[in-house]
Copies of this chain bind each other. A is one copy, B any other.
Amino acid sequence: MKILIINPNSDHEMTGAIQKTADNFADGEFEALCISAPGAPEFIETYEDAVKAAPGMIQLVRENEDKYDAFIIACHCDPNLDVMKEITGKPVVGIGEASMKIASMLGHSFSVISSTYYSIPNKEALVRKYSLQEELASVKSPADNMKELSDKEKYLYTAKSAVEKDNAEVIVLGCAGMTGLDKLLQEELGVPVLDGVVCALILASGLSKYGVSTSKLRRYNAK
């Protein structure tokens, strides 16, 4: 089984980190390759960044439909996920949808740790799209006074606050760039911490093995 993980941005360091996470999880049982979408913007922070990433993402899926068994969109705001589900018969999994739906199975409520204050409403809009408001404790980004801290510390303290103040029982890492921090944080926090890349690999590999994919009846019919 071969899974193509599409990084909608052009940050090679992030692509490398996702690849490492995927290799660790796949552990030789399946192949997973992470590549940047051609022409991708440096980051996916805005709606315009998502628009800019779309053509390259579509191209990647089209060119690789025969070579891969499933696709993963490795940005936690699930950019262009609907169009990805529409243009291919193979399973497509967004790391946002995968991680938040799995989080809803592991505890009473979850918090999403967001990298920036600006992306909080977009995450909240995503939570509404997936009808997960009842299970959401909060979407949280590091406080202003954490700027000097390391990523690990910054996200750890933010997650700690989500657990203690918002009663989050599960933590979702809200950016593909946080990949690899899950176990470090889980150990400190004592609650499950989910890396969207791994959650998406669980579902993408499982769906592919099962032989089910997106329904082509109406919403995701390419017409």
Contacts and interface: CB of A to CB of B under 8 A. Distances in A.
Nearest to A120: B218
A130 B219 CA distance: 18
A106 B47 contact: no
Interface in A138-170: 163, 167, 169-170
Contact of A219 (B101, B105, B125, B205): B125
A108 B122 CA distance: 9
Contact of A105 (B83, B93, B135, B201): B93
Quick one: which of A107, A135, A202, A218 has the most chain B CB within 10 A?
Answer: A218
Interface in A75-110: 80, 82-83, 86-87, 91, 93, 97-98, 101-102, 104-109
A192 B191 CA distance: 34
A86 B48 CA distance: 8
A50 interface: yes
Interface string A7-49: 0000000000000000001010100000000000000011110
6 contacts: A108-B124, A117-B218, A120-B218, A122-B219, A128-B128, A186-B212
Interface of A: 25, 27, 29, 45-48, 50-51, 54-55, 58, 80, 82-83, 86-87, 91, 93, 97-98, 101-102, 104-109, 117-118, 120-122, 124-125, 128-135, 163, 167, 169-170, 183, 186, 190-194, 198-199, 201-203, 205-207, 209-223
